[in-house]
Chain A
């Protein structure tokens, strides 16, 4: 199968997942009414469910999935470490810390405030990690970035846990946020994050080619006229925008960003332009699929997307790791 065929198949799968996300849920709605609800809303119960519940979470699934898939691929390429997930730059832990502080100290529990707090927290930690990882003459080498991420993450997680244990109110809000879910957001929240994702997407499009030179190593990249420092800085910015935006709206769904690039590499080989394209399509398929499954299995309530994503994605991930040629760490 050529790469274009695979791409076409992935697009079709994503279309199928989107249709499924509209068609299935806790309440059974005939397909005809689903289409009516989208095209000509009449204010009836089913029409409301489609527009207020299923539309936002489908849009969020596509947006957050694409963002996390791309951010994960970028992160693994920038650090040349297949264990790197988008959260490694501190995006998730910074967002979590900000959310806990907002719930615990400011006593706010509004989704929109969470979004801004999470974005701000993500940006601050990511800048810290980047500055620390790029200190010294050689700039941001993969090994230093990884360790800097680990160190800053640990501090943020420690403070988060401390605040959480001292203020039970923060703990109660946080334990639901941290599972990660596509449900329960209105379209307004989802639309707020789209500009961030759009800029991130644009950066990724510009970086796709240069990432291939970076994969050869910093020295080789430099001798080919590439600029590793610039590529890493721009890539870091893209990760923050993409992963920060997705995390702000859906909570930490980190496993998507870790696992999907593996599947994409298994399909695409070594060319980052293709890996990125496949990741951008595979990740929303995984997220939407997990979300639909969570709605069906958890009926009459639902299982959180984060939970189902892990249980759906991890066996696939292990299968790929077992049979494929996995790059050396």
Chain B
């Protein structure tokens, strides 16, 4: 090992956060902020970015202030918060399962939230608040069912959690399709729109509810980062290092499900962010371990940029469509770069 490399390692170890990770986080936060400013500037009455920033800092004209703070800021904030929650939750579940496919989209929690909402839209016929409440209910019930079914003989292994989740997800997915085929076309269409995930028409009520929930859930989950890193080493190693593996896993599942539940209630199940954000973040930071904060920020950046694109499209499409395409293309591109680097 040469000297420079060793010095680099020492420096990385000395700092609490590696420089690369720190700058990636900073960059992602900047992207999310810039995209939010552009989102706020977009609409029937475009506002230049400089005016948006000025209005946000408390200056600007009365008209701008009304449009920005009352109409468009809530949408941008909802986007950021939902993205944070989805990215963080995805990182938790991918760490628990040690599998890139172990995202909340695939293991039932998002599907459960969708089922709750669909029942409300198509069967009960409640309004926005009722839809949000039943989608949280759906996610929490699904989370509890998965956890209880995966818990066996005094232990719940990460991979069993994922597999049980996949089974539950298949049932809920079938139930969702069933509900949609049995509904009238107009209602079914409304449901499909909701199922794609959208930020349209979000107001301060959404932001407040989301903000309060995330103020508890995000710090709680971020604080589990160290414990998740230990759990990733494998049950035996982690136990021998004095880690209470079962407790860590239970807390992480609770945090992750909570995050997905509130995010889905606010925006509908926005596709692919939870799956892609951790993978994208990991490729940028080149770090090991759960990468909770970078994943969360990547989720926020991905969602707000997608929303910006959705706003600028000539046709009206919900943000969920754009997140899938954008996230997918971005992942394709990063994989391509990795492939070339190996040559």
Is B196 in contact with chain A by the CB < 8 A criterion?
yes
Task: Tell me whether A31 is interfacial, beta carbon within 8 Å.
Answer: no
**Chain B, 158-194, contact with A by CB distance < 8 Å: what is the 0/1 string?**
1110111011101101110110110001001100110
Q: Which residues of A contact B98 (CB under 8 A)?
A: 329
Q: A83-B106, A147-B279 are in contact. Are A162 and B321 (CB under 8 A)?
A: yes
- B317 on the A face (CB < 8 A): yes
Whether A138 pairs with B152 at a CB distance below 8 angstroms is no
Q: Point out the residues of chain A lying under 8 angstroms from B272, CB to CB.
A: 154, 158
Say whether, besides A148-B332, A155-B325, A175-B181, A321 and B160 are in contact (CB < 8 Å): yes
Nearest opposing residue in chain B for A172, CB measure: B185
Alpha-carbon distance between A162 and B341 when the two chains are bound, in angstroms: 34
Contact of A321 among B164, B175, B276, B327 (CB under 8 A): B164
Check A310–B329 contact: CB distance below 8 A: no
Q: Given contacts A83-B99, A135-B340, are A166 and B317 in contact (CB under 8 A)?
A: yes
The smallest C-beta distance from A251 to any residue of chain B, in angstroms, reads: 10
Q: How far is the CA of A158 from the CA of B331 in the complex (A)?
A: 14
Encode contact with B along A120-136: 1 for CB under 8 Å, 0 otherwise.
00000000000011011
Residues of B that sit less than 8 Å from A by CB: 97-102, 106, 149-150, 152, 158-160, 162-164, 166-168, 170-171, 173-175, 177-178, 180-181, 185, 188-189, 192-193, 196, 271-272, 275-276, 279, 315, 317-318, 320-325, 327-329, 331-332, 335-336, 338-343
Contacts A158-B328, A321-B164, A322-B164; is A165 near B318 (CB within 8 Å)?
A: yes
On whether the beta carbons of B101 and A154 are closer than 8 Å, the reply is: no
Contacting residue for A83 out of B101, B332, B338, CB 8 A: B101
A-B contact pairs, 10 of them (CB 8 A): A136-B339, A154-B276, A155-B325, A157-B324, A158-B320, A158-B328, A168-B185, A309-B174, A314-B170, A329-B158
Q: Which of A155, A176, A307, A317 contacts B174 (CB 8 A)?
A: A307
CB neighbours (8 Å) of A269 from chain B are: none
Chain A residues with Cβ under 8 A from B166's Cβ? Answer: 83, 258, 317
Q: Which of B149, B158, B167 has the most CB of A within 10 A?
A: B167
Roughly how many angstroms separate A311 CA and B188 CA in the complex, as a whole number? Answer: 22
Contacts of B189 in A (CB 8 A): 165, 168, 171
Q: For window 69-118 of chain A, which residues contact chain B by CB distance below 8 Å? A: 81-84
With both beta carbons as reference points, the residue of chain B lying nearest to A316 in the complex is identified as: B167
Of residues A146, A151, A303, which shows the largest number of chain B Cβ atoms within 10 Å of its Cβ?
A151
Interface residues, chain A, with chain B CB atoms under 8 Å away: 81-84, 132-133, 135-138, 143-144, 146-148, 150-155, 157-159, 161-162, 164-166, 168, 171-172, 175-176, 178-179, 255, 258-259, 303-304, 306-307, 309-311, 313-315, 317-318, 321-322, 326, 328-329
A81 contacts B99, C-beta separation under 8 Å? yes
| Extra contacts besides A176-B181, A303-B178 (17): CB < 8 Å | A83-B106, A136-B341, A147-B279, A151-B276, A151-B329, A154-B272, A154-B324, A154-B325, A155-B324, A158-B324, A158-B328, A171-B188, A258-B170, A306-B174, A307-B174, A315-B167, A329-B158
Report how far A309 CA is from B114 CA in the complex, Å.
Answer: 20
Cβ contact of B168, chosen from A132, A162, A314, A329, cutoff 8 A: A314
Which residues of B have CB within 8 Å of A321? 150, 160, 163-164, 167
The distance in angstroms between the C-alpha atoms of A328 and B272, with both chains bound, is 24
Closest 10 CB pairs of A and B: A158-B324, A135-B339, A154-B328, A136-B339, A310-B174, A155-B328, A151-B331, A136-B342, A158-B325, A314-B167
Neighbour of B338 across the interface among A136, A172, A255, CB < 8 A: A136
Are B335 and A144 in touch, CB under 8 angstroms? yes
Q: In the bound complex, do residue A328 and residue B159 qualify as a contact, i.e. CB atoms below 8 Å apart?
A: yes
Interface secondary structure of B, over-half rule? helix
Also in contact, A326 and B160, with CB within 8 A (given A154-B328, A179-B178):
yes
Q: Is the interface of A mostly helix, strand, loop or mixed?
A: helix
Cα distance A39–B272 when bound, in Å?
52
How many angstroms from the CA of A309 to the CA of B175 in the assembled complex?
Answer: 11
B167–A161 touching, CB < 8 Å: no
Q: Let me know if A310 and B170 touch, CB within 8 A.
A: yes
User: How far apart are the CA atoms of A166 and B322 in the complex, in Å?
Assistant: 14
User: Given the interface contacts A161-B320, A329-B99, does A313 sit within 8 Å of B342 by beta carbon?
Assistant: no
Bound: A300/B171 CA distance, A: 23
Given known contacts A165-B317, A171-B189, A328-B159, A138 and B328 CB-to-CB distance under 8 angstroms: no
Residues of A within 8 A of B196 (CB): 161, 165
**A42–B295 CA distance with the chains assembled, in angstroms:** 67
Least Cβ distance of B314 to chain A in Å?
11
Q: A132 CA to B341 CA in the complex, in Å?
A: 14
Q: Which of A81, A258, A311, A318 has the most CB of B within 10 A?
A: A318
Which of B162, B185, B276, B343 sits near A137, CB closer than 8 Å? Answer: B343
- Complex: how many Å from CA A329 to CA B178? 31
The minimal Cβ–Cβ distance linking A230 to chain B, given in whole angstroms, is 19
Supposing A132-B336, A146-B101, A322-B149 touch, asked if A159 and B181 sit within 8 A by C-beta, the answer is: no
| A147 pairs with B321, CB closer than 8 A | no
Are A317 and B100 neighbours in the complex by a CB distance under 8 Å? no
Q: Which residue of A159, A165, A309, A317 has the most chain B CB atoms within 10 A of its CB atom?
A: A165
